[in-house]
Amino acid sequence: MFRLVWPLLVIVLSGRAIYGQNSSYRIIGGSSVDIKQAPYQANILVDGSPCCSGAIISNGRILTAAGCVYGYPTSSVTVRVGSSSRESGGTLIKVCGINTHPQYSSSRYDNNLAILELCDPLTYSDSIKYINVTEKVPEDSSLAEVTGWGSTSWLGSWWDRIFGSLPDQLQGATVSFYNREQCANDISGWFWTWDYGVSDLTLCTYSYNRAACSYDIGAPLVKDKKLVGILSYGGCTTYPDVYANLIRFRSWLFERTAATEKATTKAASNATSTGTTSSKTTEKASSATTSATTPTTTSTTASPDPMIGK
Ligand SMILES: *[C@@H]1O[C@H](CO)[C@@H](O)[C@H](O)[C@H]1NC(C)=O
Ligand SMILES: *[C@@H]1O[C@H](CO)[C@@H](O)[C@H](O)[C@H]1NC(C)=O
Ligand SMILES: *[C@@H]1O[C@H](CO)[C@@H](O)[C@H](O)[C@H]1NC(C)=O
């Protein structure tokens, strides 16, 4: 029945669902979260405006949705970490590199990932910390936590211009995993004519009155203190939410991480010989990266990764 409804009507209805319930919530049915409860949470800004979420995966890298930053010049992207507030506080850091997943397509929900490389390394604190990527596939109906501020995607900015401002305080909600086949069926497009890429590369959640919305893309989904998903599509309770299934991207994540670390180390050794000002930052970044991320890197290389090579 819903499949036959004109898309805009669905959008308006889902908007009503949010605003009818509590006008200050974007993550629907959520509650305020202090950044210390989710210190991995990052706020991605494009041209100075907060527009998506991301997760700190090392002191030099933020994982977000490709759709959040795709098509923008690297210099227009910055990241705010260490703040519960959408607009202020914490630390603002410039992005020096964007690694979009090579198979990303804006018309699909799979492969919707990008790694942002920070120009300066993060200093960890009780409100700024990396999170490990999961090694387990979550079971259907098990629970996980999603956090976000809501953001200004085209829909968000359109909605906000008409109906008011976004929440300033970080919101979080507990959601439950939803059967993949059922999810693919629910999201297969009108008359099942379009493949949105809901597959084993994605995870779905669907909970009564609790969901992420379009404004939340890039939002981290966390189970047992591990990062399991990055929001690709927020169903706003009308449809399931779709996330990148991070366990299937572990090898891509580690390849990218290893490649960058190599490049940084090289640049650092060049800097030592030439001693130029521009390379000094890299040198500092590299040494800090090495000291702070060694535990993560060691643990991930040490544990066998079932996904590599599949
Ligand atoms: C709506 O959100 C406010 C905080 O912004 C909270 O005080 C209030 O209890 C919420 N109302 C409902 C119905 O959840
Ligand atoms: C990441 O995993 C390693 C190895 O299991 C563990 O020692 C470390 O505490 C974890 N870090 C976080 C932030 O959970
Ligand atoms: C470092 O220097 C070598 C040769 O001197 C060069 O081939 C390499 O590209 C440089 N690396 C970086 C990251 O600048």
Where are the strands (E) in 90-240, listed by range?
91-100, 114-118, 143-148, 171-178, 202-205, 220-223, 226-233
Q: Is the CB of 297 under 6 A from ligand 2?
A: no
Higher-pLDDT residue of 214 and 136 is 136
State the average pLDDT over residues 159-175. Answer: 68
119, 281 in Cβ contact below 8 A?
A: yes
185: tokens are 């069926």
| pLDDT tens-digit series, residues 108-124 | 888 999 999 999 999 99
244: tokens are 């990148």
Q: What's the alpha-carbon Rg for the chain, to the nearest Å?
A: 19
pTM: 0.69
Which pLDDT score, from 0 to 100, does residue 241 have? 84
| pLDDT tens-digit series, residues 268-308 | 554 444 444 444 444 444 444 444 443 433 333 333 333 33
SS3 288: helix
| Partner residues linked to 226 by β-bridges | 223
Q: Is the CB of 36 under 6 A from ligand 3?
A: no
Beta strands 202-205; 226-233: pairing state = unpaired
State the average pLDDT over residues 34-39. Answer: 94
Which pLDDT score, from 0 to 100, does residue 106 have? 84
State the average pLDDT over residues 140-156. Answer: 70
Candidate of 261, 270, 278, 280 to mutate for ligand 3, largest count of ligand atoms within 8 Å of Cβ: 270
| Partner residues linked to 64 by β-bridges | 54, 114
CA 42 to chain centre: 8
| pLDDT tens-digit series, residues 192-207 | 566 777 888 989 988 7
95, 117 in Cβ contact below 8 A?
A: yes
Q: How far is the CA of 98 from the centre of ligand 3 (A)?
A: 21
Q: How far is the CA of 278 from the centre of ligand 1 (A)?
A: 49
Candidate of 21, 22, 209 to mutate for ligand 1, largest count of ligand atoms within 8 Å of Cβ: 22
SS3 75: helix
**Contact partners, residue 211, CB within 8 Å, separation at least 6:** 27, 28, 29, 173, 175, 205, 234, 235, 236, 237, 241
SS3 165: coil
Higher-pLDDT residue of 198 and 79 is 79
245: tokens are 């299934």
Which pLDDT score, from 0 to 100, does residue 90 have? 93
Give the residue, by CA position, lying nearest to ligand 1 atom 10. Answer: 22
State the average pLDDT over residues 2-29. Answer: 41
Atom of ligand 1 nearest to the CA of 21: 13
CA-based max dimension of the chain: 68
Looking at residue 287, the DSSP 8-state letter turns out to be: H
Residue with tokens 């993060």: 122
Q: What percent of the chain has pLDDT over 90?
A: 35
Is the predicted pLDDT of residue 27 greater than 90, yes or no? no
pLDDT band (50, 70, 90) for residue 260: low
Domains of the chain from N-terminus onward: 16-20+133-249 (2.40.10.10), 40-118 (2.40.10.10)
What whole-number distance in Å separates Cα of residue 40 and Cα of residue 55?
5
Which pLDDT score, from 0 to 100, does residue 304 have? 37
